[in-house]
Copies of this chain bind each other. A is one copy, B any other.
């Protein structure tokens, strides 16, 4: 080793030892008579000290040539500091330098290597290797390592076996777009990169592996958003001879273990909620339940407190639904306008927002006073009362009119916005719950056909199988479940189909011809004929889980070398053109 110690470990008990340290020059302070250098590595910072008249002149001179981020080696005696620094663990000592050398000089970095940097996103991505030197970024990746380690620890203890499944697999048109890989040895043919190891883990269950997991890279060629990457990592799991309840318990156990190990937190109760409940009361299949603010319906299939008063906006829609914002009755006109603008943004798309102020003095004031009497409004306020959302004088009721789930999703956005404004979404507080009983299928208007909401291997609930026969496909609930933490879907899965006939039926419902089903998934249906056990599983989005643990919204901060929104790695400048020789060998041409 070029060093005897790292920069995070020296303490008072090392005093009088001669040590050699290596690292990066964080900063250098030259006070004329004294020079102090902060030497940094992954483990910490140690202060080096040089003294005019005592330290040999050539060493003093050399030390004055050091710029930020120079890589140096320093030998000296550990001494007690006169003025101690209690902000760093090595703050009680410093090194009285006797030897010094430059291992590698450094150009001035294009941005500050500090916790708070002056570098923008683009420059930090181009020089990601410098960005990774910064404490917060490195800590994110160390956190990621801890989460992986604790995951393996739990699953190993529960008899899961990690099995690597192939990366070069077969393209299947169902689901998102595949990345493909031309095969040189099989000209005209392509591998695909897996969107998940789904079929392989099911085959491992057919093989009797009983409990499988893998922390594994997956790939989706989708248009990217801030929280999407073309390559991402999953904690992928599958179990045999289980029912849904077993999966929920097993992985509630995992998430609880991760919180204890990584965050030192007891997660508390992991509650359960049906999809139907989540949509009705939160307008989302991944509600953030750190705060309550449940929806109250003024008009729906079950209730109508608004129609027939000549207010055409409410008369012409099938759903009027609102939330109660505690203590916001005094919101200013400006604040109300902000909220209206918020829900009218094209990403949300509400037509407008109606409010009802429940003033502190008990009076009611709405934006639709023209149509509704004080008596009418009182009925509304009562609907938001004790049982429903505990609306009281001083609160503000925000109402959106619209069409079923569409307006509910709009109101969900408003609810989250109000949660933010009212400080109800503390990233240091965690609330986890399962959403269960998802619909098996959803209708795609555009393609005029049914799609699997989860994937084609998800099993319907036995009691809903009758709707397969009656054709009421939208009524079929699936044995499918998502784990939601703080409004983020961190994982999801299902109990799988394990019978060939049912799987074939499902492909047919999804519009596969028999030939297409056989061509794409014949191996799986064959496997089901040779003794497939009942099985199910789930996958966690590992990047997202890490960002949640790190209290950040961006998964990119938890990936060592992420890609930008155009799928580019700007550091290595990839993707890039390849040689004609390569194209010729692969027997492909580009047609751009």
Q: Which residues of A contact B (CB under 8 A)?
A: 1-3, 6, 22-24, 40-43, 69-71, 103-107, 109, 127-130, 132-133, 138, 141-142, 144-145, 148-149, 152, 156, 161-171, 173, 177-193, 199-200, 203-204, 206-210, 217, 219, 221, 223-224, 230-231, 233, 240-243, 246, 498-499, 522-523, 526-534, 559-561, 563, 566-569, 571-579, 582, 585-592
| A181 with B178, Cβ < 8 A, contacts A71-B531, A163-B145, A575-B170 known | no
- B130 in contact with A207 (CB, 8 Å): yes
- A184 in contact with B177 (CB, 8 Å): yes
Residues of B within 8 A of A3 (CB): 241
Residues of B within 8 A of A193 (CB): 167, 181
Residues of B within 8 A of A571 (CB): 523
| A171 with B523, Cβ < 8 A, contacts A141-B161, A142-B161 known | no
**Contact for A523 among B523, B573, B590, CB less than 8 A:** B573
The minimal Cβ–Cβ distance linking A205 to chain B, given in whole angstroms, is: 9
Cα A148 to Cα B571 with chains together (Å): 31
- A107 in contact with B170 (CB, 8 Å): no
10 intermolecular pairs with C-beta atoms under 8 Å apart: A42-B208, A71-B531, A104-B498, A130-B530, A138-B209, A152-B152, A165-B560, A180-B182, A183-B567, A588-B590
- B243 in contact with A1 (CB, 8 Å): yes
Residues of B within 8 A of A165 (CB): 560-561
Cα A489 to Cα B592 with chains together (Å): 44
Residues of B within 8 A of A563 (CB): 166, 168
- B166 in contact with A561 (CB, 8 Å): yes
Cα A109 to Cα B184 with chains together (Å): 34
Residues of B within 8 A of A527 (CB): 129
**Contact for A231 among B104, B163, B167, CB less than 8 A:** B167
- A167 in contact with B167 (CB, 8 Å): yes
Beyond A106-B531, A164-B559, A168-B231, 20 additional pairs, beta carbon < 8 A: A6-B210, A24-B208, A105-B531, A106-B530, A109-B530, A127-B526, A132-B207, A149-B162, A167-B193, A167-B217, A168-B569, A168-B574, A181-B193, A187-B590, A188-B577, A188-B590, A189-B575, A191-B575, A523-B572, A587-B592
Cα A219 to Cα B23 with chains together (Å): 34
Residues of B within 8 A of A207 (CB): 129-130, 132-133, 138
The minimal Cβ–Cβ distance linking A168 to chain B, given in whole angstroms, is: 6
Cα A173 to Cα B415 with chains together (Å): 54
**Contact for A573 among B129, B148, B170, B498, CB less than 8 A:** B170
Residues of B within 8 A of A133 (CB): 207-208
Report copies per complex: 2
Cα A88 to Cα B225 with chains together (Å): 55
- B241 in contact with A575 (CB, 8 Å): no
Cα A561 to Cα B197 with chains together (Å): 12
- B531 in contact with A70 (CB, 8 Å): yes
Residues of B within 8 A of A182 (CB): 180, 182, 588, 590
- B164 in contact with A575 (CB, 8 Å): no
- B127 in contact with A530 (CB, 8 Å): yes
Cα A204 to Cα B170 with chains together (Å): 33
**Contact for A567 among B186, B579, B592, CB less than 8 A:** B186
The 8 closest A-B pairs by CB, nearest first: A106-B531, A132-B207, A170-B574, A189-B575, A188-B592, A69-B531, A183-B575, A129-B203
Which of A183, A186, A572 has the largest count of B CB atoms less than 10 A from its CB? Answer: A572
Cα A57 to Cα B109 with chains together (Å): 83
Residues of B within 8 A of A104 (CB): 498-499, 528, 531-534
Residue in chain B with minimal CB distance to A542: B164
Residues of B within 8 A of A188 (CB): 577, 590, 592
**Contact for A579 among B173, B242, B592, CB less than 8 A:** B173
The minimal Cβ–Cβ distance linking A33 to chain B, given in whole angstroms, is: 28
Residues of B within 8 A of A219 (CB): 167-168
- B210 in contact with A42 (CB, 8 Å): yes
Cα A156 to Cα B145 with chains together (Å): 10
Cα A402 to Cα B185 with chains together (Å): 36
- B588 in contact with A588 (CB, 8 Å): yes
Cα A526 to Cα B571 with chains together (Å): 10
Cα A200 to Cα B562 with chains together (Å): 12
- A529 in contact with B107 (CB, 8 Å): yes
Residue in chain B with minimal CB distance to A6: B210
The minimal Cβ–Cβ distance linking A6 to chain B, given in whole angstroms, is: 8
- B41 in contact with A210 (CB, 8 Å): yes
The minimal Cβ–Cβ distance linking A157 to chain B, given in whole angstroms, is: 11
- A185 in contact with B567 (CB, 8 Å): yes
Cα A143 to Cα B217 with chains together (Å): 22
- A180 in contact with B578 (CB, 8 Å): yes
- A166 in contact with B569 (CB, 8 Å): yes
Residue in chain B with minimal CB distance to A592: B188
Cα A591 to Cα B190 with chains together (Å): 13
**Contact for A560 among B2, B204, B576, B579, CB less than 8 A:** B204
- A1 in contact with B138 (CB, 8 Å): no
Which of A3, A41, A498 has the largest count of B CB atoms less than 10 A from its CB? Answer: A41
The minimal Cβ–Cβ distance linking A131 to chain B, given in whole angstroms, is: 8
The minimal Cβ–Cβ distance linking A59 to chain B, given in whole angstroms, is: 20
The minimal Cβ–Cβ distance linking A115 to chain B, given in whole angstroms, is: 14
Residues of B within 8 A of A169 (CB): 569, 572, 574
The minimal Cβ–Cβ distance linking A75 to chain B, given in whole angstroms, is: 13
**Contact for A585 among B177, B189, B206, B590, CB less than 8 A:** B177
Which of A219, A529, A574, A586 has the largest count of B CB atoms less than 10 A from its CB? Answer: A574
